[in-house]
Structure 1
Amino acid sequence: MVRVKVVQFLRGSRQGLLLLFALMVSTLALTGCRSVPVTDRTQLMLTSSSYENRLGEEAYAEYKAQYPRSTNAEYNQALARCGKAIVEVAGQKDFNWEFLVLESSTQNAFCLPGGKVAVYSGIMDLMNNEAELAFVVAHEIAHAIARHSGERISWGYLQSLGGLLVAIGFQNDTINGVYGTGTELGVMLPFSRSNESEADQIGLLLMAEAGYNPRAAVQFWSRFSSNSSNGLFSSWLSTHPCDSDRIKAMNDQMGAAEEAYKKARSPKGYGVTFHHK
């Protein structure tokens, strides 16, 4: 009889739904946590690495079908060199690493779960040297070894679950909209920005440990961001931190990165200078 009343309470009241949500979140938090390499931040993880890596394989195949591979030998050789050096210090032995320069004016790069790295030729056209490439690659690799994709999926599960409970409990479109907008602006976007900051921090150390001068990171990002403007409102709606904050954080972390650079087994400095033929 007591059990029946409890179930009726959970199903029939808003307080019960909120309690149910809290109990589910608590259970998930206790059973689905791991520590991020380098930063040791505790993260919620409700997906498996094998599932994430399978998604990465599928997405990588789609990118390779959509974009031609660059024939720029200088770019391909530089990516192979810095990719190998960063993998050696990343400590991720179970990834099937691949590195590819895609021919496109897109100014971007990515590393999908499982170690599938691609850099668009459009962003390499803006780089002065191999060390600048190393920072971009290390930043993307940091996302993969920190399993940020799986973490975002996990938080998305909670956001969707909360939305379902709110919809059932209140049955009000306005409240549903407030929940959706509120969780997106107040939780998901700040969370995405924190992931980018963490990838900057990890990437800076990885490039330094791989033997590349970490000062190249600030030099590249200062130049890359010089034509962009980030107002308060646009930064609030962005998935990435504003450029000035990123550069400041890199400078704040430069001491630790330079110490790692001094201890690198194979110092490379700025590496090869690009000629952009």
Structure 2
Amino acid sequence: MRIDPLGQGGYPQDARQPRRRGLFGNIRWWVLLLFAGYAAWSWFGSKATDPYTGEDAHYGATPEEEAQLGAQAYREVLTDAQSQRALLAPNDQTSQQIRAIAQRLVARVPQVAADLAAQHGQPTPDLSSYQWDVNVIQSDEANAFCLPGGKIAVYTGLIPVAQNADAMAVVMGHEISHALLRHGAQRMAQQKLVQMGQMAAGVSGMDQQTMAALGAGIQYGVVLPYGRNHETQADEVGLMLAAAACYNPEAAIPLWERMSQLGGGQRPPEFASTHPDPANRIQHLQSLLPQAKQFYAKYCGGQAAQ
């Protein structure tokens, strides 16, 4: 028997080398494959065609579940506003003006939903889960939102930026469209997919540096573009809704010019934001004006936009 001069025993050299396991012998890869399989099943199993855009969409909740979550969040917002004495009474003049705009927009939702769905060869969306409500909150914040299920809130800080009912209708139509497009349920599906990817990376034993790089790639390559696409979709549907409710769609251009100046016009570059760059947004809205004017002509008797 050969004697190892370094005192490592008389075993053949090859026998002292650790055995290398193949790809499918590594438990880390099995974990990743299992997570990937489940993620693909979950993602593609939730796939449907968005009737408003004709694009593929993935939903992480039913319309009823989404509406319940929206109603719960809305109650919390109103309770907080009441505790701060910031919730305007329904008979307040400002509240009545905002409610009047909301009523006109909501009244046109069934027609606009049917028109857009027909354009994409889709059935008319089911609107039975929407229970519309609107409240105005005293705040310097220039903002508004519409939660899943049709719960709308407008902050008074938006009024001086909007300046007129046409621009306010454009903003509110945009927010209502987030609810109609079920962007909340779509974000839930995306978040579930991202979380599964993070879990898979953690269980697989991936080092922290690689996980950080992966997280940044997901954030900038998936999450933020997903948000920007939702904003663009809401701009498209919202402008048609405002025009069908007989508000001037051209008000969208100066509105977003004013919005772009908020905060001194300082904002992150588009790739690092959930919202499109204001210049790109305005350019896209300008391209939508001919279609919006067709909606105006159809539902407003062809009168000049007021």
Give the TM-score range, shorter chain: 0.7 to 0.9
Percent identity reads 30
Contact 1:211 / 1:267 at 8 angstroms: preserved in 2?
no
Among candidates 59, 65, 78, match of residue 97 of structure 2? 78
- Match for 2:107: what amino acid? E
Distance 1:161 1:203 in 2: 33
Contact 2:60 / 2:187 at 8 angstroms: preserved in 1?
no
Counterpart in 2 of 1:12?
27
* Deviations 1:95-140 (CA, angstroms, capped at 9, x unpaired): 1110111111111000011100000001012222111111111000
Counterpart in 2 of 1:53?
67
Greater alpha carbon shift after TM alignment, 219-228 vs 133-142? 219-228
Among candidates 118, 139, 156, match of residue 104 of structure 1? 139
Counterpart in 1 of 2:159?
124
Contact 1:212 / 1:267 at 8 angstroms: preserved in 2?
no
Q: How far off its partner does 1:269 sit?
A: 6.5
Counterpart in 2 of 1:195?
230
Q: How many residues matched? A: 262
- Counterpart check, 1:256 vs 2:291: yes
Contact 1:52 / 1:114 at 8 angstroms: preserved in 2?
yes
Q: What secondary structure does 2:247 align onto? A: coil
- Match for 1:85: what amino acid? R
Distance 2:65 2:41 in 1: 21
Distance 2:166 2:302 in 1: 11
- Match for 1:89: what amino acid? R
* Deviations 1:227-275 (CA, angstroms, capped at 9, x unpaired): 44366x532221111111111110011111111111114778666xxxx
Contact 1:32 / 1:45 at 8 angstroms: preserved in 2?
yes
- Counterpart check, 1:215 vs 2:215: no
Distance 1:156 1:162 in 2: 10
Distance 1:135 1:188 in 2: 26
Greater alpha carbon shift after TM alignment, 217-226 vs 180-189? 217-226
Q: What secondary structure does 2:48 align onto? A: strand
Distance 2:52 2:62 in 1: 20
Counterpart in 2 of 1:40?
54
Distance 2:258 2:280 in 1: 15
Contact 1:139 / 1:202 at 8 angstroms: preserved in 2?
yes
CA pair 118-220 structure 1, distance change in 2 beyond 3 A? same
Counterpart in 2 of 1:3?
none
**TM-score, length-scaled by structure 2:** 0.79
Q: Which runs of 5+ in 2 are unaligned?
A: 1-22, 111-126
Contact 1:10 / 1:17 at 8 angstroms: preserved in 2?
no
CA pair 104-187 structure 1, distance change in 2 beyond 3 A? same
Among candidates 84, 87, 98, match of residue 69 of structure 1? 87
Counterpart in 2 of 1:25?
39
Contact 2:74 / 2:151 at 8 angstroms: preserved in 1?
yes
Distance 1:172 1:162 in 2: 14
Distance 1:229 1:35 in 2: 37
Q: Give the structure with higher Rg (CA).
A: 2
Query: How does 1:135-174 map onto structure 2 within 5 Å?
Result: 135-174=170-209
Distance 1:44 1:131 in 2: 33
- Match for 1:80: what amino acid? R
Q: How far off its partner does 1:39 sit?
A: 0.9
Among candidates 216, 230, 241, match of residue 181 of structure 1? 216
Greater alpha carbon shift after TM alignment, 250-259 vs 91-100? 91-100
Counterpart in 2 of 1:275?
none
Contact 1:211 / 1:269 at 8 angstroms: preserved in 2?
no
Q: How far off its partner does 1:203 sit?
A: 0.4
Q: Which runs of 5+ in 1 are unaligned?
A: 1-7, 272-277
Q: What secondary structure does 1:124 align onto? A: helix
